Amino acid sequence: MTFDLKSGLMRRGRLLICLVVTLLCQSVSVARLLVTNHEDRSTVRYPVVLLRGTLPAKSTGLQVSVGEKTFSICRQAGQFKVLVELTAGENLIRLQAENPDADLQLNISYVPQTNPYYVRVIWMTDSSGDTRYAAPGAEDPQDYESRLRTAAILMQTLTAERMHDLGRPRRTFRLERDAAGQVIVHTLKAPESAEDYYGMDDQRWWRETAQWLNKDHPDPFAKNIVLAAFTRKDARTGEMKAHTALGGGNLGLFGSASLFSWPAGLHQVVPTFENDSNYETTNVHNDSVGRNTIWGLASTTIGATLHEMGHTFDLPHCNDPMGIMTRGFDHFNRVFTFQDPVSGRNREPLSFSQQQEAYFAPISASYLQLSRWFQPDVVEYPDRRPSEISYTKESGEIVVEAESGVAWVGFWVDSNVYAFLEFSGDERKTSMTFSQDQTSMLLDGKKLSTVTTISADGVSARLAIP
């Protein structure tokens, strides 16, 4: 083998130049105040955006404001995250560092969604109408509306921002709001007493709640987040009464014995997810997967609420460890912070990458963007026959049909979607056939358990394979 000294030196020279340019670019980026995930003069369809960015070198101060309103900031190692609440129309967001020359302005327009399909937030009391929820101590403010409202906003924002991180449009569900733009929390009195509900198993309680809502408060356009005010813990036995997390159809039903840990406003989000204090568990549910801290409890239980709402949007479980539809929901907090604080599972603060933040995994996001609940505006859906799936046992052949075109097909192994196919434009056919060999290849030889599909106009179907 021969070696060309001249070409070797030239290659070294080019590498040196590339290294110098890279270092200069890095130093410039670190020395500037930048927003890295939103662009100036952009438009969003949800009112609370999460801005991520970098701070000027050696800067520790930052203020973010829209008009006179300022927002709580999370900072670490030259980076920041901040939740910014917008009003309908143009919003001039001002980011001010310690050096006035480094100030940045960002104009983002918020256009409210017009989609009639929406998520409705409900605080369910028993027949007595008692709105109080369980808390560690008597000093709790019992501000359930603020906590529910804030959690719903965080779920909406996380969904949109993390969809964008996957390279997709910032799609998310619409929340019901009043004329002032506030998320509406309905306080509804259920027909039975708390004791009656305590005697029901989870499935029966879910069924009776769904029947009650559909009879007394029907709305075919609503997916319902329902938290029960009367969830309690038996201090003597430790038994949780009227506690569940079940989602499907148009109902996500939840106990409320962790609500006390949820933030009661956007200004409390960062302090809540940085709160490593313990709590007395005599009267409340310790549902923090061993973290035993306020931040861990809030993260897991808000995340679990979004998980169950995912089931109301017809999402199954998946295998992605950071997916909302797995136990990735435990890491809900990470989208809004930079570290897991100290807890029962980590003796030191734990840093993580953006890839270790909770999200709707690609297999879930691809389905959600087709859902009628994830369209930003009114869509006129013609009256069509439902999507259909058929299976021929002898040949193993699967036929999927949809009048508007088959847009997505998911193939399950046990209770998880293992593989999916997504179709757009001319790829969408009214009928598609999959041979046994094709499905076996998609599933790496594993046994197919279920097939799901969603059409171009958001009509879904599911078939269990015997």
- The β-bridge partners of 82 are 51, 73
Position 310 scores a pLDDT of 98
376: tokens are 């930003």
CA distance 73 to 75: 6
Q: What is the CATH number for 437?
A: 2.60.40
CA distance 373 to 252: 15
Position 59 scores a pLDDT of 73
CA distance 405 to 407: 6
311: tokens are 């089931």
Please give the model's pTM, rounded to 2 decimal places. Answer: 0.92
Could you count the other beta carbons within 10 Å of the beta carbon of residue 312?
20
Q: Which of 64, 80, 110 is the last residue of a domain?
A: 110
Position 56 scores a pLDDT of 85
User: Is residue 22 assigned to a domain?
Assistant: no
Q: What is the DSSP letter of 386?
A: P
Is there a contact between 294 and 261 (Cβ–Cβ < 8 Å)? yes
Q: Is the same domain home to 104 and 125? A: no
Q: What is the CATH number for 58?
A: 2.60.40.10
Among candidate residues 46, 55, 33, 373, the one with its CA nearest the CA of residue 225: 373
CA distance 307 to 377: 24
Which residue range(s) make up the domain with 350? 118-368
Q: Is the same domain home to 343 and 442? A: no
User: Is residue 362 assigned to a domain?
Assistant: yes
Q: Is the same domain home to 203 and 230? A: yes
What does residue 16 show for φ and ψ, rounded to 5 degrees?
A: -65, -40
Q: Is the same domain home to 280 and 360? A: yes
Position 2 scores a pLDDT of 35
Q: Is the same domain home to 106 and 122? A: no
Is there a contact between 133 and 122 (Cβ–Cβ < 8 Å)? no
Position 16 scores a pLDDT of 44
User: Is residue 20 assigned to a domain?
Assistant: no
* Dihedral sign for Cα atoms in the order 169, 172, 174, 178: negative
Is there a contact between 228 and 246 (Cβ–Cβ < 8 Å)? no
Q: Is the same domain home to 99 and 198? A: no
Q: Which of 93, 110, 127 is the last residue of a domain?
A: 110
Give me the number of domains the chain comprises: 3
Q: Is the same domain home to 122 and 96? A: no
DSSP 91-115: EEEEEEESSGGG-EEEEEEE-----
166: tokens are 């996957």
Q: Is the same domain home to 82 and 231? A: no
Q: Is the same domain home to 241 and 354? A: yes
Q: Is the same domain home to 340 and 395? A: no
Position 97 scores a pLDDT of 87
Q: Which of 78, 110, 142 is the last residue of a domain?
A: 110
CA distance 438 to 125: 51
Q: Is the same domain home to 420 and 275? A: no
User: Is residue 73 assigned to a domain?
Assistant: yes
Which pLDDT tens digits describe the chain residue by residue (466 residues)?
333 433 343 344 444 444 444 444 444 444 589 999 999 999 999 999 999 999 987 776 899 999 999 999 999 989 999 999 999 999 999 999 877 667 899 999 999 999 999 999 999 999 999 999 999 999 999 999 999 999 999 999 999 999 999 999 999 999 999 999 999 999 999 999 999 999 999 999 999 999 999 999 999 999 999 999 999 999 999 999 999 999 999 999 999 999 999 999 999 999 999 999 999 999 999 999 999 999 999 999 999 999 999 999 999 999 999 999 999 999 999 999 999 999 999 999 999 999 999 999 999 999 999 999 999 999 999 998 899 999 999 999 999 999 999 999 999 999 999 999 999 999 999 999 999 999 999 999 999 999 999 999 999 999 999 9
Q: Is the same domain home to 63 and 204? A: no
